[in-house]
A and B are shown apart, each in its own frame.
Chain A
Amino acid sequence: AQTVTQSQPEMSVQEAETVTLSCTYDTSESDYYLFWYKQPPSRQMILVIRQEAYKQQNATENRFSVNFQKAAKSFSLKISDSQLGDAAMYFCAYRSRNQAGTALIFGKGTTLSVSS
């Protein structure tokens, strides 16, 4: 069975600085998706970034980028130029691409606080 591990329950960063959130996963599959979701205090889960395992290039969305290391099964999220609105809980998630009906598997989350 696949598992996702986020080893940092809490992280903090100052405005305008850069922070990296860690995620590792375990799978025997070769074709899958990895995601980072953000959950602000409003509780609405928002997709931050997506990576397809067959793509070697790291995904980037504005200030958010990932470091995808397939052999090491590592998928970290880097937030550059942090803003107060980035304060939230961040979840790393895995989803198999091999089957039509599979669910996302989530890590336990990292709470990010941003100070001014």
Chain B
Amino acid sequence: DVKVTQSSRYLVKRTGEKVFLECVQDMDHENMFWYRQDPGLGLRLIYFSYDVKMKEKGDIPEGYSVSREKKERFSLILESASTNQTSMYLCASSRGTATSGEAFFGQGTRLTVV
């Protein structure tokens, strides 16, 4: 079974903390993504990676960075957490678009910054 695993389901952090959200996939997928989900705004792309050590900014990269040292792992980093980063974070992975194109999602991390 295809699996994308996010390290935490719920997380509470303090303003100013450095926060790491980890995502691991076991499908040998080339592409990995981080989305943020907020009510009424849908899913917005933060960053994605199409290969190891490669990254592309999405629509809302400000305040975030990413790391992809290994193919199976894609980390989202909040350099200095702020209350406006309280949100649901979804990780996904996919093969290249020459195949099915679909993305597989993790279970989401609900992050609260206080």
Is the pair B58, A103 in contact by a Cβ cutoff of 8 Å?
yes
Inter-chain contacts of A101 with B (CB < 8 A): 30-31, 48, 50-51, 54, 56, 96
CB neighbours (8 Å) of A6 from chain B are: 42
Task: Assess the A33–B96 pair: CB atoms within 8 A.
Answer: no
Q: What are 8 A-B interface contacts by the 8 Å CB criterion?
A: A33-B97, A33-B100, A44-B107, A44-B108, A50-B100, A97-B97, A101-B30, A106-B43
- Inter-chain contacts of B43 with A (CB < 8 A): 91, 106
Interface check A96, CB cutoff 8 A:
yes
Which residues of the other chain, A, contact B108 by a CB distance below 8 angstroms?
A: 43-44
Instruction: Fill in one digit per residue for A21-53: 1 if any B CB lies within 8 Å of its CB, else 0.
Output: 000000000000101010000111101001010
If over half of A's interface residues share one DSSP class (helix, strand or loop), that class is named, otherwise mixed; here it is loop
Chain A, interface residues (CB within 8 Å), range: 20 to 34
- Measured CB to CB, the residues of A under 8 A from B are 6, 9, 33, 35, 37, 42-45, 47, 50, 52, 91, 95-109
Interface size class of B (residues with CB under 8 A): 20 to 34
Q: 3 nearest interchain CB pairs? A: A101-B50, A108-B42, A45-B105
B51 CB to nearest chain A CB (Å): 7
Contact between chains at A103 and B48 (CB < 8 Å): yes
Report the Cα distance A19→B90, complex, angstroms: 28
Say yes or no: A44 contacts B40, CB within 8 Å. no
